[in-house]
Structure 1
Amino acid sequence: MKKYNLFAITSFLALSLSAQIKNAETHQFSVKGNCSDAKELIEKAGNQKKIASVVYDATTQTVEITVDKTKTNASEVLKKIALAGFDNTEYFAPDEAYTKLKKDCQYPRDKQMMTDHSGMNHSTHQQTNSSQESNQLSNVFEHYFKLKDAFVATNETEVKNQIAAFTKSIKAVEMGKLSHNVHMVWMEELNNLETNSASISTEKDIEKQRKLFSKVSESLYKLSKVAKLDYTVYYQNCPMFNGGSNWLSKEENIKNPYYGSKMLTCGSTVEILK
């Protein structure tokens, strides 16, 4: 009885939240989650006051998402649900997020569910298009390279400008247009990219920004291993900065973003990605 009352209360709260949403648009999706905590975890991950309301039915494993279409969309809500560890029709949860779920919450995983839309009333799921994927990722990498160059020049104003552009390019990526391998890596690294880029934006000390940039570089390196870029990428290392730090470059010649003009050519290429 207590469990029933809890579910009834959370559903009532979710419906109340939905009623507060302006410019409302509602869709349904499949979401994996069959443990007793699934409803609470999924709704907590997706609910956003006056912007998004989530109601999960554990029996049918479907979620009803209501959003203010002028401020977000159902795909963004599903992304948050996946990052909380729950596979759904648009996003496959990162392995790290899935393994953090309690054992009774670790449902059987089916990688085909991302393309299974039978009986669902939701926005059109766009097919993967290699040229679209290339354009999206090229934009992310181009802004990364410009950010790297700003660190090489030790230009704090340009670092600020380029991290803003880089962050915007991350948010613009439509994961439904990524191939499966790229999608998996992107989901695994998205939180790191968003967290570290946000930290660079708010940090005032350029040396601390450089340490954060090294973390961004590691995420981009993992992505570059699976992405199909139109150019050669050089994975380079500075053994002296912060115990050893790496970065990506389109140039074979070393231009160190961690020391700039102080030790411009310090480092070496450790891998060539084509």
Structure 2
Amino acid sequence: MKNLKMSIAVMLLLAVSFTNAQEKEKMNHKHGEMEMDHSKMKMDKMNPAAETVLADYFMLKDALVGDDTKKAAQSGSKLVASLKKFDKSSYSKEQQKELADIIEDATEHAEHISESAIDHQREHFKTLSKDITDMVAITGTKSTLYEQFCPMYDKGSAWLSTSNEVKNPYYGSKMLKCGKVQKTIQ
């Protein structure tokens, strides 16, 4: 009788262990599906025109970080061209309207950057950065971006970066490391 009870207890433990292992496997499988869905969603959000605008924006940001007025002006001109080519047709009517407003404003600031001295370029870069951040909120991006913030420039100014290392475009070499990452955009 004692052996029978012991055998039943062992069988129950094995059954519970087997059931737990199956549940864990199901959970892992579902988690894998969720990750797949998330990466699929991220791919759906990728817009080649938005990625071109971002690449031109980052080229401009890097020119300002390097205190290079000429390169910033060239990057501003390139950004104007990519903004004008931006195709909004794959977005909802409401998003198209928002994007049109953002692109119009961003284009104006990029044009000013392409024609100005570095201090004025940096003034326009502040609003341009807000526009590009607003655009990314609608279009998404294939990259992880870092919204960085400098508390010193014009009562506080933000910009986007592909690196979490702070390189300040508002002060360049004068205060290269001034700022912090305030948000990660994925």
TM-score, L = length of structure 2: 0.72
Q: Distance in 1 between matches of 2:74 and 2:112?
A: 14
Structure-2 residue corresponding to 1:238: 150
Q: Distance in 2 between matches of 1:237 and 1:195?
A: 23
Q: Distance in 2 between matches of 1:151 and 1:160?
A: 10
Q: Is the 8 A contact 1:182 1:227 kept in 2?
A: no
Percent identity reads 28
Indicate yes or no: 2:108 matched with 1:186.
no
The unaligned stretches of length 5 or more in structure 2 are 1-42
Q: Distance in 2 between matches of 1:149 and 1:182?
A: 29
Higher relative contact order (CA 8 A, sep 6+): 2
Alignment size in residue pairs: 144
Kindly state the Cα deviation for residue 145 of structure 1 after the two structures are TM-superposed. 0.5
TM-score, L = length of structure 1: 0.50
Kindly state the Cα deviation for residue 174 of structure 1 after the two structures are TM-superposed. 1.8
Q: Is the 8 A contact 1:235 1:247 kept in 2?
A: yes
Kindly state the Cα deviation for residue 162 of structure 1 after the two structures are TM-superposed. 0.7
Indicate yes or no: 2:175 matched with 1:175.
no
Kindly state the Cα deviation for residue 208 of structure 1 after the two structures are TM-superposed. 1.2
Give the letter for the 1:220 counterpart: I
Indicate yes or no: 2:134 matched with 1:222.
yes
Give the letter for the 1:248 counterpart: L
> Which string of whole-angstrom CA distances, capped at 9 and with x for unpartnered residues, describes residues 190-218 of structure 1?
22112111111222x21111010111000
SS of 1:178 mapped into structure 2: coil
What RMSD in Å do the two structures reach over aligned CA positions?
Answer: 1.9
SS of 2:146 mapped into structure 1: strand
Kindly state the Cα deviation for residue 189 of structure 1 after the two structures are TM-superposed. 1.1
Q: Is the 8 A contact 1:252 1:269 kept in 2?
A: yes
The unaligned stretches of length 5 or more in structure 1 are 1-129
Q: Is the 8 A contact 1:181 1:226 kept in 2?
A: no
Give the letter for the 1:261 counterpart: S
Q: Distance in 1 between matches of 2:167 and 2:96?
A: 31
Going by fraction, where is helix more abundant, 1 or 2? 2
> Which string of whole-angstrom CA distances, capped at 9 and with x for unpartnered residues, describes residues 162-186 of structure 1?
1111111001112223355642431
Whichever of the two has the greater Rg, that structure is: 2
Q: Is the 8 A contact 1:185 1:222 kept in 2?
A: no
Kindly state the Cα deviation for residue 152 of structure 1 after the two structures are TM-superposed. 0.2
> Which string of whole-angstrom CA distances, capped at 9 and with x for unpartnered residues, describes residues 47-101 of structure 1?
xxxxxxxxxxxxxxxxxxxxxxxxxxxxxxxxxxxxxxxxxxxxxxxxxxxxxxx
Could you list the structure 1 runs, at least 4 aligned residues long, displaced by more than 4 angstroms after superposition: 130-133, 179-182
- How does 1:92-103 map onto structure 2 within 5 Å? none
Give the letter for the 2:70 counterpart: T
